[in-house]
Amino acid sequence: METISNCPICNKNLFTPFITCTDYTVSQKDFQIVTCNECSFKFTNPKPTNEDLGSYYKSNDYISHTNSDKGWFNKLYKTVRNYTIDKKVKALSKYNAPSKTLLDIGCGTGEFLNAAKIKQWHVTGLEPGVDARNLAIKNYGLHVFDIDHLAKLKPQSFDVITMWHVLEHIPNLHETIKQLKQILAPNGTLIVAVPNSNAIEAKNFGRFWAAYDVPRHLNHFSAKNVINLLKINNLDVCSTKPMIFDPFYIAMLSAKYQNKSPFFGLVLGIYHGLRTNVFSLINVQHASSLVYTIRHKK
């Protein structure tokens, strides 16, 4: 394990224990999340070393890496995922993308990239998981590389860069954001989706809230944290929108961690999903997960 001495965003060194959560997916071990006293950023501390972190992704329950059809939960996840992929690809047409170059970081098994490829985008993927990366290459013939390849990409070479639920996994936030800024075209768009630590259901489920997902989630962002991180790196957040399906899925998974029955978990998922989305209409910062549209500062 590695103890973090300085806040990953503001670099201050005074923290307060926030909550202790269990890794229900792989190890069944407990991990602590702390809050920075200066900027209120929450992060897992201590965390597994970079060398050990990969072992916490090795589970058939980690669907983004296995593409498993096992069980009704995974089937439901994939049905919603296919719908949202279609929406994401259609949204790409809104961005200024003269070359139609797309980089998806943390592309998993490649479904989003393949859908964009079918629509004539020139796609590249980065994926640290060997099994997921190989599935993306084998199933769709995609150009997918290990995450270390990020440093080898040409400056200003991508019109759009997407990170769908990836930034919460990244150990070196400022270094990564600087690399993304370098390879993003001058008028390009960076899309970042992350869980929202201020979500309504986070307060309801407490340590069982599935989006804490320790220790895989190293970072637990509020909207304020994301804006601060990007501002430090001279990037602008142009829009912030909720991901409307996330609270249903996260609430059902959270209920599972509470040992609720599948039926009761489904009821809780529907209740919390509807409740969170209603509150998000009043204030987007109540959302379960947020999508940030980001560009270079003018």
- Tell me the CB-side half-sphere exposure of residue 93, using CA atoms within 13 A: 6
Residue 14 has a CB neighbour count (10 Å cut-off) of 11
Express as a percent the part of the chain with pLDDT over 70. Answer: 94
The answer to whether residue 142 scores a pLDDT higher than 60 is yes
| Averaged pLDDT of the chain | 91
Q: How far apart are the first and last CA of the chain?
A: 41
pLDDT at site 268: 87
pLDDT at 80 over 80: no
The CATH number of the structural domain formed by 53-296 is: 3.40.50.150
Q: What are the tens digits of pLDDT across the range 194-228?
A: 999 999 999 999 999 999 999 999 999 999 999 99
Among 201, 144, 191, 145, smallest CA distance to 164 is for: 191
95-96-98-99 Cα dihedral, nearest 10 degrees: -50
Q: Quick one: which of 132, 80, 131 has its CA closest to 104?
A: 132
Name which of 250, 288, 283 is nearest 268 in CA terms. 250
- DSSP string for residues in 170-191: -S-HHHHHHHHHHHEEEEEEEE
| Residue written as token pair 């954001």 | 177
Average pLDDT over residues 22-39: 96
Q: Is 152 exposed, middle or buried (0-12, 13-18, 19+ CB in 10 A)?
A: exposed
Query: pLDDT digits over 34-65, tens only?
Result: 999 999 999 999 999 988 888 888 776 655 54
Residue 167 or residue 80, greater confidence: 167
Residue 202's pLDDT is 93
Cα–Cα distance, 15 to 17 (Å, whole number): 7
pTM of the full structure: 0.90
